Amino acid sequence: MPQLSDLNTPAAVVDAQRMLRNIQKMQARADALGVKFRPHVKTTKCPDIAAAQAAAGAQGITVSTLKEAEQFFAAGVKDILYAVGILPAKLPQALALRRRGCDLKIITDNLEVAKAIAAFNAANAADLEVWIEIDTDGHRSGVKPESELLLQIGRALHDGGTRLGGVLTHAGSSYDTNRDEQLRAIAEQERAGVVRAAERLRAAGLPCPVVSAGSTPTALRAQTLQGVTELRAGVYVFFDLVMHNVGVCSLDDIALSVLTSVIGHQKEKGWAIVDAGWMAMSRDRGTQKQQRDFGFGQVCDVAGKPLAGYVMSSANQEHGIVSLAEGVDANIAQRFPIGTLLRILPNHACATGAQHPEYYAVDAQGETQRWPRFYGW
């Protein structure tokens, strides 16, 4: 099998040992909290990695596009949650998957869409299952647990003959802190809110068998998940610099990096030029607003060991600039000669992974395997 040094650069590299450790840690959390674990595979979009999650005990997957659902179903995964609000125009695509045997669940937080789903199911003798998205922290989408709209959506679905499968939420605000006590509080707010929504539906005579919650930070900091039936998380499988700044992983837990080669220098500026620009790293600058700014990524040696002080400080389409975060390295050309292989840890693993058609999984001996990655909507 090829070594890292045999790969064309830039290339997305997965440290297989770190990834498996991350998978096992999250599965152990779900097991300890007494809930089913349904990983969000939008981070990796890779059947090899989903298989490793299933082998560790995961049940089903969460996806962010119907194309992902189609691709993972073709790869043998049946239990799939499409966790982005459904558009009525996409209902035929969702139904086609259901009729091929996929146990697909869709979501909404909109009364008009709920009515459209019920009408579509009735007109097509369809059995699309719907979950209602709950907003527990004002982060993005969903209905408030105490909203009358929640019951209106539930009635529109159930009374219209559509299966109401449950409720789900995502505490995206957990990305905005780095204090454990705040993460624990957000995790409890997430749990309490989605459980309250389920209780209100049931009290109104509406079914709500599934109560689904989770984000990587809240999954790792939740003290209890009483009333929750399943946990979801995604970026934990790779982690990244944003999660490092949030405080839920160390640099040694980050399993995704971009392998790149030094192609030039600007000695007076203390720059080494590499062949990984924002097309390889993505434009995501998620650490810029956090307590530590990693530029476009933390620089590591070819073995994956972080090089203290060095970051990818700037990026053009196909060029990256490696320099000290503070000060100027006058000996940059001697430290990083032409052809030097480096690995860059990403700000946001989901965004960086999306730049690459494949991963190269590297083992402890430095040997690599190619893992294909899915694309599309």
Rounded percentage of the chain residues whose pLDDT exceeds 70: 100
Q: How confident is the model at residue 37 (pLDDT cuts 50, 70, 90)?
A: very high
Domain 251-372: CATH superfamily, name plus number:
D-serine dehydratase-like domain (2.40.37.20)
Going by pLDDT thresholds of 50, 70 and 90, the confidence category of residue 62 is very high
Between strands 368-372 and 11-15, the pairing is unpaired
Q: Any idea of the CA torsion for 137, 39, 48, 16, to the nearest 10 degrees?
A: 70
- pLDDT tens string 248-298: 999 999 999 999 999 999 999 999 999 999 999 999 999 999 999 999 999
Q: What is the pLDDT of residue 138?
A: 87
Tell me: pLDDT of 1 over 90: no
Give pLDDT, residue 344: 98
Q: Please tell me the distance from the alpha carbon of residue 157 to that of residue 312, in angstroms, as a whole number.
A: 50
The pLDDT tens digits of the residues spanning 286-330 come to 999 999 999 999 999 999 999 999 999 999 999 999 999 999 999
| List of residues 6+ apart from 322 with CB closer than 8 A | 262, 271, 272, 273, 274, 299, 310, 311, 312, 313, 332, 336, 342
Q: State whether residue 284 is helix, strand or coil.
A: coil
The CATH 3.20.20.10 domain(s) of the chain lie at 16-238
Q: What are phi and psi of 373, to 5 degrees?
A: -130, 145
Tell me if the domain spanning 16-238 has CATH number 3.20.20.10.
yes
pLDDT at 175: 86
Pick the closest to residue 11 from 254, 185, 260 (CA basis). Answer: 260
Q: Are 334 and 9 in contact (CB under 8 A)?
A: no
Tell whether the model's pLDDT for residue 238 goes beyond 90. yes
Q: Token pair for residue 166? A: 């449950």
DSSP-based three-state secondary structure for 270: coil
Residues of the chain with CATH 2.40.37.20: 251-372
Model confidence at 69, pLDDT cuts 50, 70, 90, reads very high
User: What is the residue-averaged pLDDT of the chain?
Assistant: 97
What is the reported pTM? 0.96
The Cα-based distances of 212 to 35, 158, 201, 347 in angstroms read 9, 19, 14, 27
| Cross-strand partners of 322 | 272, 312
